[in-house]
Structure 1
Amino acid sequence: MPYATATDGVRLFYESQGSGPAIVWVHEFAGDHRSWEPQLRHFAPHRRCVVFAARGYPPSDVPHELQAYSQAQAADDIVSVLDAAGIERAHIVGLSMGGFATLHVGLRHPARARSLVVAGVGYGAHPDEAAEFQALSVAAAQQFEALGSQAYAPTYAAGPARIPYQLKNPQGWAEFAARLGEHDATGAALTLRGVQARRPSLYALRDDLRGLQVPTLVVAGDQDDLTLPASLYLKATLPAAGLLVLPRTGHTINLEEPEAFNRAVADFIAAVEAQRWTPRDPRTRGPAMQVGEPQA
């Protein structure tokens, strides 16, 4: 099995399929490298697709020290995978925790990203929500440690923003929950404490985000309530961002609505590669109506 070596020596399992321009897929907390199967089936016949398991997610290494887990390290791990796969620049697609990491690649390593898809991002992003999100992350970490992943997975997988997936596709949701139950409980707990609970507020990064020129597509489900304000904020702040809100959709976007998600990502990447995805024209900002000068 191929492994990348992170900057601190942690081994990261990755897989590569297909050939052509590269797309790297970055999974969410409740997923893993297997979560992108609908995307690989769609894109790998025409492009090189790379998936990997984040640190703490076997078959990647599971460090047992909290300091090994952080938002900055999660972004740097993506670059380590790029290096190991021999990819100079890639389109990077991330969901939720992976979406935050993808965004931070744009901030920390913009030269390595041809484009960014930032999906399902927003939990705990607003300063008013940070304390509650941190407390919930720590509480979930304690549950993984106390119960183990298999016992706790059905509860975690039944959060409000996961219900739309469960209603649309009970069998798909059950497979998603079962795979969550296979996760390493220590890795899950440390990821919650080190990455989720300690990531910086998007609103504290406003100046950095305003300077991010990498083409970006922000994607949210309209039934994923906690991501909607942050998605609007990113659309308004990033100079080269577009926003897609999928109707009747929750948090597990790529599995819940794979066809719509794949189509949106494909159209976005095509626009970027054709140099048709440009920064927002400043003339599109301003009053609702252009009145003009009074006529004589």
Structure 2
Amino acid sequence: MSFSNAKQTKTPIARPQLGTLRIHGPDQNGIVAAFSQLLYGHGCGIVDSEQHTDHSANLFFQRIHFDYSKMLTDRISLGNGVDEVCKRFDMKSALNWGDVRQQVAIMVSKYDHCLWELLLRHRAGELDCDICMILSNHPDLQTVADAFQVPFHVFKVTKDTKEAVEKEELELLATHKVDLVVLARYMQIITDNFCESVSVINIHHSFLPAFIGGKPYHRAHERGVKLIGATAHYATADLDEGPIIEQDITRISHRDEVDDLLRKGRLLEKNVLVHAVKAHIEDRIIVYNNKCVVFDG
């Protein structure tokens, strides 16, 4: 996940003049005051602010949502001011002006519950992004993409074609300036290179590492599990060990059959994934030490 003040080059659209500033670094006195005074001095009003301190790591985190509709200077000046304060306090920052909608691609195989949920929530206006494409290794969900008028691309993946296919996928993502890839139950392993090229969020059941491979719900039922859950995380080179964004659980009893576990598991998966994607596109996440600070929505 990139965490920098990189200049945005995409075509702006008409949006409220609300920006987001995320900062993190060594905990010390004066940080909150310094950034508050900086924004005030440039004519920006703070809409809301949330902060967190990891005392064990001596790290401070803050997310500031600010209104720059009456800004007295310009974006470059404020950006330079943020850089100066960050240098003074040895902080890292991410400044988003909020006027460019993120481009999101969804990768999916045959399970459709997460895909439907993302598309429906997006249509309802709950996900402030553009879902610009759906990529799959199977043609089965073409009709779902067509129903929402989202371009659907099929890439047949085999052991012999995997490397070439991934290169083609990354070229397509780069062409459309995709910011985030969502693995909505995409049943293929992506490479380190893929994870390093674009931010990737993955969803999986909570049975790892106890029940890996196929039919985990069946084997969990055989073991008589009492809790099932789902985990959404950033995909990294360590496969399912990336920074966790969102999790949820529900109880299981001896009365539940395999179909009940599957139904409850799918409900958890799609809700957890949507919450994680929403947190990402709203700039509510700061990643550090292979874990996430997720600010309230």
TM-score (norm 1): 0.38
Instruction: Determine which structure has the larger strand proportion and give its number.
Output: 2
- Structure number with the bigger relative contact order (C-alpha 8 A, sep ≥ 6) is 1
Q: Which has the larger radius of gyration?
A: 2
